[in-house]
Structure formats: C-alpha cells, structure tokens
C-alpha cells in the first residue's frame, strides 16, 4: 500500500517464510504463539479448528505473514470488534540491529512491569527490529455469524444506519464497512461480481457475530425492519450461510483488486471525523473533473477509516499535483490521520508532519538512532528524509 516492504535502493531482503511454525496454543485463554512467517489464513484455520478466531482479518490473508501484520500494525476487517493489534498482541520476539534477541514473548494478559517494549515494534514497519515470533490473544469463535448487505440513498443515511446499528445490534455488531456506487461499478466491471441489492449511491456491509443464532437473528430483523421502514435504506439482503457470507464480503474485500485492474491508482488511507468522511471524496472528485477515471471512497466506516482511491489512465504529475498536498492538508485541517492503517513506508514517509508534531517526530528519530545506529533496518522508510 505504501511500499513499506519494497526495496528501493541497496537493501538486503530478509524472508521469514520458512519460519512458519505454531509454537503453542492455549485452548482455555486462546493465547497463540507462532513464528513470524505464518500466513494469516493458515493461522485462522488452525485456531478455528480449536474453537477460536484470529482477532485480525484482511483481504490479503492468503499471503500475508503475521510478522508483517504486526510490524505494519495492520487494521483490517475485525478492528471494530476486536480492536487493534496493540491490544491483542501479548508479546513479541524481536531481533535487534546488533543481533540481540529480545525475548518478550509472554502470553500474559496483564504485565505492568515498566515500559511496554513490544509496542515500539508494532507498527515500526521493520525500522526498529525484525519480529521473529508473535504471541497474541484469539477470541472465541462466534457461534452465529450474519452478514447484511444494504443500499443507502446518501452518506447521511450511511451514518444514521451506523448509529442505529450500534444502538440496536449492540454487542453483536462485528463489522461496519461501506463502499460507494463507483466501487460497485468497478467490482462488477473488472471482477464480474453482481450487486446483490438495488443500485444505490452507497452500500453498507454489516456483520454480526454472537453466541446465539436465534437471539442474533431477532436483533438483526428488528434492525432491518426499523431501517427499511424509516427510509435509511433503499434495499437489503441478509446471508447466514458461509458461502453467501463469503460472496457478500468479496464485494467489499476485492475493491482493491478491481481498482488495480482499472488503471494507475493513487491511494489514500485516512482517519477522519465520521461527519466529514465522505466530503473529501466529493471535493477530490470536483477538483479532478475529467482528469481521473474514477474517484472512489470505501472503507472501515465503523473505525472512521476512509480509503480514498483515484484511478487514471497512467501516472501523471498533473493529477498528483491536484491531489497533493490538497488531500493531506484537508485531512490535517480535520485533525485526521494521513495514514489510518497502511503505515508510511516509502511513499508516505514525508507526510508524517501532517499527523505528528515536531516533538513527536524528533523522539521517533532519537528512538531510531538508539535502536538502529547504523540505519540498516528497513532504511529509507517511515521517517522523513529531512527533518
């Protein structure tokens, strides 16, 4: 997403793909300890066979490694329910720049002994150490999962639907994702996925996960009756079986893939106040006019995370200059984040100042010098070249 793992000049590439062993699993607490090269989807299967789920899920689950997920502090589709990896990771083993093995691979829920060093490496994108093993807490596998795919007439209705969802579904709400009409057109055109509801300006995917099918169905039915009856929705469909649930999720999860087939993609991953979240998409659409093929907005609405993507025939500095710094300044003006979940990597490192004050940037630089004095760990990434 931001070139965090892409070598740019003279780097040596480390692969952890042979470090793919589960080291232990506690079937009472759900604490999983595994090596960094385990593929997320394989871990999901492993824990699901034992009645648990991974607290993290994302479109790239079939190829991404858990070590990379932690190093980049991946957000993904279960964030709303299980929170950030900063909460679910219990411990890490990290190799430091001088070869020291830092063994903080605890499986304890609570450990308040001094600085929480693992947090330094979560989201450091490999710039402070190499994560070699991860201990994380897996929640119990929900007994009942439902997915509702809904059409909304406008963004105000998307927000109101989210409010209603939280009020009426409460503890069983596990995901609230949104996509606009242009996203739906693109997954239709490039991936041949059919829209399951009446064409609408916006679509919402609501997932519930609970422990009692009857109770969850009752809540979901009451929610749908209310929202359909009050004009918040244009249409809706519900899936309870695994095949249809996967089909509905694919519409949302595969937007990135559809975009990449549409042309050159300018990608932005922003945290914004919910009320203003879609205003940026409309503003960018108006600024670019015919200069872009598509300007789309989608993302993890429940987390206040917008993915603003622009496709064009090819890369052009004219389009880039229309987009930047406008998008970053607009976001900073809302006190948002210029990278909600994708990190900074190589592409966004110079944007750090839009979301962090100079004092925070200085401290980050000091930590980098302390832990990696020779600058050998994922060089040219995360920190701005000049500060």
Of the candidate residues 42, 244, 267, 276, the single one contacting ligand MLT (CB under 6 A)? 267
How many angstroms separate the CA atoms of 223 and 167, rounded?
9
Contact 87, 79 (CB under 8 A): no
Shortest spacing between CB 23 and ligand MLT, in angstroms: 29
Q: By C-alpha distance, which of 66, 56, 60, 55 is closest to 17?
A: 66
Least Å distance between CB 341 and ligand MLT? 6
| Residue closest to ligand MLT when measured from CB atoms | 256
Q: Give the Cβ contact number of residue 328 at 10 Å.
A: 20
**Contact between 361 and ligand MLT (CB under 6 A)?**
no
Site membership for ligand MLT, residue 190 (CB under 6 A): no
**DSSP string computed for 78-128:** THHHH--HHHHEEEEEEE-TTS-EEEE----S---SS--THHHHTTSTTSS
| Nearer to ligand MLT among residue 267 and residue 285 (C-beta) | 267
Q: Cβ closer to ligand MLT: 105 or 175?
A: 175
- For 36, 100, 121, 360, the CA distances from 94, given in Å and listed in that order, are 10, 8, 8, 24
Whether the Cβ atoms of residue 74 and residue 125 lie closer than 8 Å to each other: no
Per rule CB under 6 A, count of chain residues that contact ligand MLT: 7
Chain-centroid distance of CA 131 in Å reads: 20
Of 95 and 250, CB closest to ligand MLT: 250
Q: How far is the CB of 250 from ligand MLT (least distance, A)?
A: 11
Taking CB under 6 A as the rule, does residue 269 contact ligand MLT?
Answer: yes
Q: Smallest gap, in angstroms, from Cβ of residue 84 to ligand MLT?
A: 14
* CB burial of residue 153 (10 Å; 0-12, 13-18, 19+): middle
Q: Is 59 in the site for ligand MLT (CB under 6 A)?
A: yes
Q: Please give the Cα distance from 55 to 140 (Å, whole number).
A: 10
Q: Smallest distance from the beta carbon of 307 to ligand MLT, in angstroms?
A: 4
| 256 is an interface residue for ligand MLT by CB under 6 A | yes
Q: Which of residues 133-162 bind ligand MLT (CB under 6 A)?
A: none
Q: Would you call 167 exposed, middle or buried from its count of C-beta atoms within 10 A (0-12, 13-18, 19+)?
A: exposed
CB of 240 to ligand MLT, least distance (A): 24
Taking the complex as a whole, how short is the minimal distance between the CB of residue 53 and ligand MLT, in angstroms?
A: 18
By CB under 6 A, residue 307 contacts ligand MLT: yes
Residues within the interface to ligand MLT (CB under 6 A) = 59, 255-256, 267, 269, 307, 309
């Amino acid at each position: 997403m931001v070139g965090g793992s892409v070598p740019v000049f003279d780097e040596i590439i480390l692969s952890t793909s042979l470090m793919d062993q589960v080291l232990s699993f506690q079937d009472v607490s759900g604490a999983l300890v595994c090596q960094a090269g385990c593929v997320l989807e394989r871990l999901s299967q492993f824990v699901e066979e034992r009645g648990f789920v991974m607290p993290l899920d994302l479109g790239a689950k079939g190829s991404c490694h858990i070590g990379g997920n932690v190093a980049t502090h991946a957000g993904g589709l279960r964030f709303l329910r299980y929170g950030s990896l900063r909460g679910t990771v219990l411990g890490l083993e990290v190799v430091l720049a001088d070869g020291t093995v830092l063994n903080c691979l605890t499986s304890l829920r609570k450990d308040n002994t001094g600085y929480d060093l693992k947090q330094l490496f979560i989201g450091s994108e490999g710039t402070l150490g190499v994560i070699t093993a991860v201990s994380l807490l897996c929640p119990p596998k929900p007994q009942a999962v439902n997915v509702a795919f809904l059409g909304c007439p406008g963004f105000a209705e998307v927000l109101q639907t989210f409010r209603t969802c939280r009020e009426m579904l409460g503890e069983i709400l596990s995901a609230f994702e949104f996509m606009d009409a242009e996203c739906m057109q693109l997954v239709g055109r490039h991936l041949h996925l059919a829209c399951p509801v009446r064409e609408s300006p916006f679509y919402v995917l609501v997932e519930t996960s609970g422990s009692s099918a009857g109770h969850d169905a009752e809540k979901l039915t009451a929610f749908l009756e209310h929202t359909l009856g009050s004009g918040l929705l244009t249409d809706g469909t519900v899936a309870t079986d695994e095949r249809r649930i996967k089909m509905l999720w694919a519409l949302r999860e595969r937007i990135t893939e559809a975009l990449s087939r549409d042309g050159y993609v300018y990608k932005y991953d922003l945290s914004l106040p919910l009320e203003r979240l879609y205003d940026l998409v409309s503003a960018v659409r108006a600024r670019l006019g015919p200069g872009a093929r598509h300007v789309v907005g989608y993302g993890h609405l429940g987390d206040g995370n917008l993915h603003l993507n622009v496709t064009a025939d090819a890369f052009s500095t004219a389009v880039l200059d229309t987009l930047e710094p406008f998008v970053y300044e607009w976001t900073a003006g809302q006190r948002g984040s210029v990278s909600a979940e994708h990190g900074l990597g190589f592409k966004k490192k110079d944007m750090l100042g839009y979301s962090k004050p100079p004092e925070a940037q200085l401290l980050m630089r000091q930590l980098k010098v302390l832990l990696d004095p020779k600058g050998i760990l994922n060089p040219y990434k995360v920190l701005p070249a000049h500060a």
